[in-house]
């Protein structure tokens, strides 16, 4: 009950202040932190109401998704936990064939987190929300003791209006359907790993973390019959393909030579014995489309910077459900399996 904030809280000072247990107490200190850091950043009429939740209009079919973000370190080349917490969740909505609209944000803060760090994370989220065209309309804040929570864990949940005219899901995949990959693989995982281990690389490898909403909506709006979408986060392309193929009851064949991996990423993975097909991405997805749509879908994707490297990498065939094989440059073929174990913990 002893507290620096007994009658009136002194103004928060970014140079000195840190998160205290009292900031999670539901009282005056929490109100101050919300007013000072969160509401100005996420400024909108829903948060201004200070209610237990937000009331929004959501006619018809809606997609609903959630992700928690525990990436370590909080900041890494090309992105940070706040940006990821928005892009990761809007991307999941896009994968459902939906236009992301509203997000919730739940923060678990570690006592002692510098206020300046918190503000940087919150500002990143706000900027990412603007970029993705979503509003953060409701939230929650908890504080846990020093040594827990690595500074901050963030959960976002999101809702969005389904704009795809047909369900976007693995069961709609037909034998012969083509697999489009939206760009090069592995940069997010490598960027986090180098930041965590403080590895010095000749060239900095930046995370691919980005919203993929625009190209996905463009595919749908321009009438491509998108059978299925899947982002390539934990477990990478390999796990995503195996999962989708399992759900579709089909096998898949990909051409390894057509899968773009930057040379520096490839060298880094070789050095550490990682398979780029298993490394996590935060701005990459696969789109499954009918053969006759491949050329047009690829053209649409290439219009957007986030998917300008889009390329067809293979197709689905009748066969054992979930069997994914990759042919190499010399024509040999290997079975691609989902990630076993934890290749790189705390990547997202």
Closest approach of a second copy to the CB of residue 195, in Å: 17
Closest approach of a second copy to the CB of residue 47, in Å: 12
Token pair for 8 = 């009136």
Closest approach of a second copy to the CB of residue 153, in Å: 6
Closest approach of a second copy to the CB of residue 68, in Å: 4
Closest approach of a second copy to the CB of residue 29, in Å: 7
DSSP string for 215-246: HHHHHHHTT--EEEEEE--TTHHHHHHHHHHH
Of 3 and 123, CB closest to a second copy: 3
Beta bridge partners of residue 325, listed in sequence order: 253, 335
CA distance 197 to 203: 16
Token pair for 292 = 């006759």
Of 153 and 263, CB closest to a second copy: 153
Of 26 and 303, CB closest to a second copy: 26
Q: Which residues contact 231 (CB under 8 A, 6 or more apart)?
A: 91, 92, 95, 212, 240, 281, 284, 285
Closest approach of a second copy to the CB of residue 250, in Å: 15
Of 107 and 316, CB closest to a second copy: 107
Closest approach of a second copy to the CB of residue 343, in Å: 6
Q: Cα–chain-centroid distance for residue 292?
A: 30
**Phi, psi of 153, rounded to the nearest 5 degrees:** -110, 140
Q: Which of 62, 35, 2 is nearest to 141 (CA)?
A: 35
Of 48 and 330, CB closest to a second copy: 48
Of 234 and 315, CB closest to a second copy: 234
**Phi, psi of 340, rounded to the nearest 5 degrees:** -100, 130
State which H helix or E strand residue 45 sits in.
Answer: helix 45-48
Strand pairing of 285-289 and 178-181? antiparallel
Q: Which of 58, 56, 38, 57 is nearest to 48 (CA)?
A: 38
Closest approach of a second copy to the CB of residue 265, in Å: 18
DSSP string for 284-324: -EEEEE-GGGHHHHHHHHHTSGGGTT-EEEEEEESSSTT-E
Of 61 and 257, CB closest to a second copy: 61
Token pair for 228 = 């299925």
Of 22 and 251, CB closest to a second copy: 22
Q: Which of 21, 152, 163 is nearest to 100 (CA)?
A: 163
CA distance 300 to 304: 8
Of 27 and 299, CB closest to a second copy: 27
Closest approach of a second copy to the CB of residue 69, in Å: 8
SS3 60: coil
């Amino acid at each position: 009950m002893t507290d620096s904030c007994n009658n009136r809280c002194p103004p928060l000072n970014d140079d000195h202040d840190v998160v205290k247990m009292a900031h999670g107490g539901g009282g005056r200190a929490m109100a101050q932190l919300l007013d000072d850091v969160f509401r100005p950043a996420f400024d909108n009429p829903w948060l201004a109401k200070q209610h237990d939740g937000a009331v929004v209009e959501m006619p018809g079919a809606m997609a609903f998704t959630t992700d928690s973000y525990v990436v370590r370190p909080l900041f890494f080349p090309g992105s940070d936990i706040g940006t990821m917490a928005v892009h990761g969740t809007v991307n999941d909505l896009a994968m459902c064939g939906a236009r992301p609209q509203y997000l919730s944000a739940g923060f678990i803060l570690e006592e002692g987190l510098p206020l300046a760090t918190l503000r940087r994370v919150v500002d990143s989220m706000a900027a990412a929300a603007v970029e993705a065209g979503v509003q953060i309309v409701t939230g929650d804040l908890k504080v846990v003791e020093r040594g827990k929570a690595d500074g901050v864990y963030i959960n976002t949940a999101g809702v969005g209006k389904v704009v795809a005219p047909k369900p976007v899901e693995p069961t709609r995949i037909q034998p012969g359907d083509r697999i489009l990959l939206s760009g090069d693989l592995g940069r997010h995982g490598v960027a986090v790993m180098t930041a965590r281990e403080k590895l010095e690389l000749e060239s900095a490898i930046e995370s691919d973390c980005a919203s993929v909403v625009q190209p996905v909506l463009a595919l749908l709006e321009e009438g491509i019959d998108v059978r299925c979408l899947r982002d390539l986060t934990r477990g990478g392309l390999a796990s995503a393909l195996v999962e989708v193929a399992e759900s579709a009851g089909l096998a898949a064949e990909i051409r390894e030579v057509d899968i773009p991996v930057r040379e520096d990423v490839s060298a880094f993975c070789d050095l550490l014995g990682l398979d780029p097909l298993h490394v996590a991405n935060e701005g990459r997805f696969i789109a499954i489309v009918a053969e006759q749509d491949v050329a047009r879908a690829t053209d649409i994707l290439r219009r957007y910077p986030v998917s300008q490297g889009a390329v067809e990498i293979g197709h689905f065939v009748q066969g054992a459900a979930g069997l994914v094989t990759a042919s190499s440059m010399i024509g040999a073929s290997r079975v691609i399996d989902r990630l076993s174990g934890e290749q790189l913990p705390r990547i997202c």
